[in-house]
């Protein structure tokens, strides 16, 4: 995927995060009432798109596209699918979470109490920076969300300002067996700079594997264009590939869509997500994660 003059295209910003759910109306209502996201499109998954994802069973399934109050990018796309009772968040390789920039995380925690967004990690300053405060919730489609407030700018992290109380996804979290392999994929395929690893708590991962909550894991934040990042996490040896039912998308966060300079389209589905890009290409990452690449 080399661009002009042999340059590797730059990845970013994050355009959309896709997950599945059994009840689209309930998801749209929850995101609208509690996160101020609004529905901007509804339709059915095109057969050529489902085939490109390796999930022909989702062809013609209904979907909704949801946008933050301040507008896109950073959409959520939810596709109708039966729940997978075997799925446990943060227990497998692949896309494990989406991180949204918010203004006041403690106020948001009060707002979400008793909502369809189950709080699995109360607001807490991050172990490597007291200038960042975050909480974790599990949404109605088993999607894991980090809700993150920056109290002040953090050197070395190019992040957006929150344009509204609950703004867009600015980080996606992918986890795998080896941190270096994750970094190598994004560096070699998309020219994403490697980043220095830090040791950090990942309480959701610790809970999934029965490890102490203060356990530290090697993680790194890879900078993208558009004030976005990919967090890469090295998982315990007990983790493995995410199971996926034949013809279906994986449970949890299934796809992340990125803009990419110099990328070429392979398919041209209809819909708001693809109209300005003129199409999409589909890739698999080092941990089996599914990427949608939208030419920029």
pLDDT at 10: 84
The whole-number pLDDT of residue 1 equals: 33
Q: Which of 278, 271, 277, 231 is nearest to 253 (CA)?
A: 231
If DSSP codes are grouped into helix, strand and coil, which group holds residue 181? helix
105, 148 Cβ separation under 8 angstroms: yes
Closest to 29 (Cα-Cα) out of 61, 60, 58, 66: 66
Tokens of 10: 């730059």
Report the alpha-carbon distance of residue 293 to residue 296 in Å, rounded: 9
Contact yes or no for 31/255 (Cβ under 8 A): no
Q: Looking up tokens 């707002």, which residue turns up?
A: 111
| Per-residue pLDDT at 126 | 85
Full pLDDT tens readout for the chain, 296 residues: 333 333 444 899 999 999 999 999 999 999 999 999 999 999 999 999 999 999 999 999 999 999 999 998 999 999 999 999 999 999 999 999 999 999 999 999 999 999 999 999 999 998 778 899 999 999 999 999 999 999 988 887 889 999 999 999 999 999 999 999 999 999 999 999 999 999 998 888 999 999 998 899 999 999 999 999 999 999 999 999 999 999 999 999 999 999 999 888 889 999 999 988 889 999 999 999 999 999 98
Which of 71, 162, 171 lies closest to 108, judged by CA? 162
CA–CA dist 122, 13 (Å, integer):
28
Take residue 193 and report the two structure tokens written for it: 């700079």
Phi-psi region of 169 (alpha: psi -120 to 50; beta: other; left: phi over 0): beta
Q: What domains does the chain contain, in order, with CATH numbers?
A: 4-295 (3.10.180.10)
Q: So what's the pLDDT on residue 4?
A: 35
């Amino acid at each position: 995927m080399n661009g002009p003059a042999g340059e590797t295209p730059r990845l970013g910003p994050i355009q959309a995060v896709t997950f599945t759910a059994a009840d689209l109306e309930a998801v749209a209502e929850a995101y609208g009432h509690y996160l101020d996201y609004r529905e901007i499109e509804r339709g059915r998954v095109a057969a050529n798109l489902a085939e490109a994802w390796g999930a022909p069973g989702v062809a013609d399934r209904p979907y909704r596209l949801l946008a933050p109050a301040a507008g896109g990018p950073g959409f959520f796309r939810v596709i109708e699918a039966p729940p997978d009772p075997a799925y446990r968040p943060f227990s497998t390789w692949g896309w494990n979470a989406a991180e949204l920039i918010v203004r006041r995380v403690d106020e948001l925690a009060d707002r979400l109490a008793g909502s369809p967004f189950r709080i699995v990690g109360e607001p807490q300053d991050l172990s490597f920076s007291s200038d960042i405060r975050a909480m974790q919730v599990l949404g109605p489609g088993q999607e894991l969300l980090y809700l993150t407030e920056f109290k002040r700018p953090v050197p070395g992290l190019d992040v957006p300002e929150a344009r509204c109380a609950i703004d867009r996804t600015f980080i996606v979290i992918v986890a795998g067996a080896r941190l270096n392999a994750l970094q190598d994929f994004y560096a070699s395929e998309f020219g994403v700079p490697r980043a220095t690893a830090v040791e950090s708590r990942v309480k959701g991962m610790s809970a999934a594997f029965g490890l102490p909550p203060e356990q530290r894991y090697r993680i790194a934040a890879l900078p993208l264009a558009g004030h976005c990042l990919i967090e890469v996490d090295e998982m315990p040896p007990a983790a493995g590939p995410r199971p996926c039912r034949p013809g279906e998308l994986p449970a949890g966060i299934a796809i992340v869509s990125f803009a990419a300079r110099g990328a070429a389209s392979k398919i041209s589905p209809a819909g708001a997500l693809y109209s300005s890009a003129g199409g999409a290409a589909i890739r698999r990452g080092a941990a089996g994660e599914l990427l949608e690449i939208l030419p920029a």
